[in-house]
Amino acid sequence: MAELQMLLEEEIPGGRRALFDSYTNLERVADYCENNYIQSADKQRALEETKAYTTQSLASVAYLINTLANNVLQMLDIQASQLRRMESSINHISQAILQFNPVW
């Protein structure tokens, strides 16, 4: 239960915030790379720098997406497990009621 609560209250919202912040950072990187390329005398060097920034930024976003997706899957697994336990308890109660009151 504590694990689910941590996922719902901290991990998943934190992952979403990090992904949103990453979006803002990607815009900044794109602006920097564009301006750097326009102003640079050495276009090839500016292009290589842009490739490096792009690769690093996209790898960071992919990592954030993977982390968030894993947290969501973990949350769903925990909830599915809770539902199976509840279903089992309900079936047990139903059998107990039928045993003592077969009219139902």
- H runs (alpha helix) in the chain: 2-6, 12-39, 43-100
Whether 52 shows a pLDDT value over 90: the answer reads yes
- pLDDT grade, residue 1 (50/70/90)? confident
Whether 76 shows a pLDDT value over 60: the answer reads yes
| 53-72 tens-digit pLDDT | 999 999 999 999 999 999 99
Cβ atoms of residues 7 and 78 within 8 Å: yes
Q: What is the dihedral of CA 53, 22, 9, 68, to 10 degrees?
A: -60
Whether 104 shows a pLDDT value over 60: the answer reads no
pTM: 0.81
Q: Which residue has the tokens 């539902």?
A: 83
Q: CA 74, CA 83: separation in Å to the nearest integer?
A: 14
| 18-36 tens-digit pLDDT | 999 999 999 999 999 999 9
- pLDDT grade, residue 80 (50/70/90)? very high
pLDDT value at position 103?
Answer: 66
